[in-house]
Chain A
Amino acid sequence: MDFSILISNFWSLGLDGLVVGAIYALISLGYTLVYGVLRLINFAHSEIFMIGTMAVYLVVLQFGFTGYEDPLPLIKFIGIFLLFATVAGIVSGGSAVLLEIVAYRRLRNMGASRLSSLISAIGASFFLVEVFRKISDSKNLDFPRLINKDPFFTAGTLYLSADKVLVLVGATIIFLILNRIINHTKLGMGIRAVSQDERTAILMGVNVNRIISYTFLLGGVLAGVGSAFYMVFYETTKANVGFLVGISAFTAAVLGGIGNVRGALVGSFALGLIQQYTSAVLGYNWRDVVTFVILVLVLLIKPTGLFGEALQKARV
């Protein structure tokens, strides 16, 4: 145990925790949105994220980078990054919609129990991981260094590099856009209506199936954009990359109160910070122990999580 690292590296660990938290947040929003409208945990959501990383990998292959080049100039990098995020967003969003149609819609229309949908979700998750394991030969796929990660600002142990700033700024912009969508558009109103009371929403003329599809699309796009950030930050992916990231993002959603958008955001950043600080103080292997002890404690005191499950009232 080394508490002195909290003093010497407080800010640098905090920054890394926020960066990781931002990536978690983009993924946990997908869990929370789907739960909000369907009261269903989409366990295959981690694979939607994985598909996004694969899409980014395939796009970068087209450019023929060897990984030994100098990093791209910032403007050029931002251009290429927007391309990654767009492609990953489209691919992940499309996959999520397809997943909803194949794995959930029929079950829902037949009035199957929630348990069937849960099993169907887990099945879809295994299916996707194994398909990509086969395609990628279970290899770790590498992503070239495209952005200059040298620090441009240093203060003690804290240093800022372009990739961290990109993740934090980029994620913030996306949260603001999401806030607008949920609170100020017809789609957002529909999502909130379905999540509040599905029956009444139908009576008010809301097309529930369409809203559910859009919710999956929204969650998928967020995960896809998250995967583009992930690839730039970690520069590697593999077929089961979604597992560890997905578990963390799901935990963050539960911590904040699943079904609640603001909860997912706060939960993700809190989780990122908790993980970073506990692994520095107690050792990496204690990270998940502490994380889940905290989760259990929060749920014991407040079973609905920090913010409760109220998507309809949420503000980002």
Chain B
Amino acid sequence: MKKIISIVSASALAVGLTVATAPSAFAACGGDLKIYFQGALTGPYAETGINEANGVILAIDKYNATNPKTKVAYDSIDTQASGAQSPALAAKVVADECAIGVVGGMYSGETLAAVPIYEGGKVPVVSPSATNPALTNKSAYFHRVVGSDLVQGPALAQIAIGLKSKLFVVDDATAYGKGLATIVKKNATKIIVGSDGVTEGTTNFTSVVAKVAKSKATAVFYGGYYPEAAIFVKALRDNPATKKVAFIAGDGVLDGEYIKLAKKNAEGSYLTAPGEPMDKVAPALAKEYKNKFNREHGLYTLEAYNSAYVLLQGIKAGKTTREALNTWLGEAVVKAVGSTISFSATGDPDKIVMNQYTIKGGKMVWVKKLS
């Protein structure tokens, strides 16, 4: 029963009923301060989530190993990347007196839904990978280390234009997928020959493929995530008329699971991500990661590490309350691994990078820096 009451009160807090009285309660943290990770640790999107969570764990462990004055513990909320689940879980973080900051959310939809709750509890948030433009200036408590899709979209459009292609655009109607597709369309108007939208979770792409074939497109952009992208690219390769079209997609598709599901069909895809290739930018850290977790790092492992690193630097500088840490984030310039991180007043990073990747021999391969 107690648990139910605490959940009820947490959600009451979430809707802002008791926000005014909340901060005094946070002084009562008995143990170590906690940095939470918000993302998918189970479910279809868990591959990306686990690689991010491990990045956060690595950063915290390395920080604690330096014997700092204030030790920090790791905790997580598993949203399965769902915007329907993230607000209630965010309320749990807000209600935890020891929670000082959040690394996350992992995807745009879950982040958009959770940020108002964090704002209500004054919890500073640093996202390693949510790229939807709607998050820019969303809240004084939201920051991210990656550029928005306003940068990724034009970069993707440039790839399509560079291929001298006729482009067909498909999206999955999610905040991320549709958002990115809209920006790509805007930046490639001259070469667009058609577009369609599907629903997340669909397996039947045959009618979309027929439309692609009819439009005589030579390239397809898919705004969405890897589970559907894998089925879509297979369907394209199976139809003789669309066998050879170039498959272009954003960071939602760039994941080991995409290769696992699409197999040979994933080869040669044109993919972008603000995420930096960790093995190129920070080979020593990548090796440490592999030794510790006994698995390869993923896209955004480095960004998750750096997001946690920024929060930890603030704590090291003595900012041990949510409010103080958030104010500090607004002003700080942190030399993180591979880059210097500072946030503009909108929460976006001052320095924005974009990378192009492809799939070769069943592996993600970094191609070049785009901006």
Contacts and interface: CB of A to CB of B under 8 A. Distances in A.
Contacts of B208: 279, 284
A236 interface: yes
Interface stretch (B51-59, B92-100, B107-115, B238-246): B238-246
Contact of A139 (B46, B234, B239): B46
Contacts of B30: none
B198 A5 contact: no
A150 B237 CA distance: 10
B214 A157 contact: yes
B214 A8 contact: yes
A236 B197 contact: no
Contact of B238 (A140, A142, A161): A161
Interface in A128-158: 137-140, 142, 144-145, 149-151, 154, 157
A268 interface: no
**Which 4 A-B pairs give the minimum distances between C-beta atoms?**
A138-B43, A279-B207, A16-B206, A280-B207
Contacts of A161: 238
Given A137-B43, A139-B46, A284-B196, A236 B203 contact: yes
Interface of A: 2, 4-5, 8-9, 12-13, 16, 20, 67-68, 137-140, 142, 144-145, 149-151, 154, 157, 159, 161, 234-236, 238, 240-241, 244, 275-276, 279-280, 283-285, 287
A90 B243 CA distance: 37
A159 B239 CA distance: 8
B340 interface: no
A151 B240 contact: yes
13 contacts: A2-B211, A9-B214, A13-B206, A16-B210, A137-B43, A234-B203, A235-B231, A235-B234, A238-B227, A244-B203, A276-B206, A284-B196, A284-B199
B231 A68 contact: no
Contacts of B260: 142
Contacts of A16: 206-207, 210
Interface of B: 42-44, 46, 80, 173, 196-199, 201-204, 206-208, 210-211, 213-214, 227, 230-231, 234, 238-241, 257, 260-261, 263-264, 362
Nearest to B206: A16
B261 A142 contact: yes
Contacts of A2: 211, 214
Contacts of A8: 214
A12 B210 contact: yes
Nearest to B45: A138
B207 A238 contact: no
Contacts of A275: 204, 207
A279 B173 CA distance: 15
Nearest to A248: B204
B107 to A, nearest CB: 15
A29 to B, nearest CB: 20
Contacts of A4: 214
Contact of B207 (A68, A236, A276): A276
A138 B80 contact: yes
Nearest to A277: B207
Given A236-B230, A284-B207, 6 more contacts: A5-B210, A138-B42, A139-B46, A149-B238, A244-B201, A279-B207
Contacts of A145: 263
Nearest to A243: B201
A149 B42 CA distance: 33
Contacts of A285: 173, 197-199
A13 B231 contact: no
A139 B227 CA distance: 9
Contacts of A138: 42-44, 46, 80
A12 B238 CA distance: 13
Contacts of B80: 138
Contacts of A240: 201
Nearest to A66: B263
Most chain B CB atoms below 10 A, which of A9, A139, A150: A139
A285 B172 CA distance: 10
Contacts of B227: 140, 238
Contacts of B207: 13, 16, 275-276, 279-280, 284, 287
Nearest to B260: A142
B214 A5 contact: yes
Contact of A20 (B198, B204, B239): B204
Contacts of B214: 2, 4-5, 8-9, 157
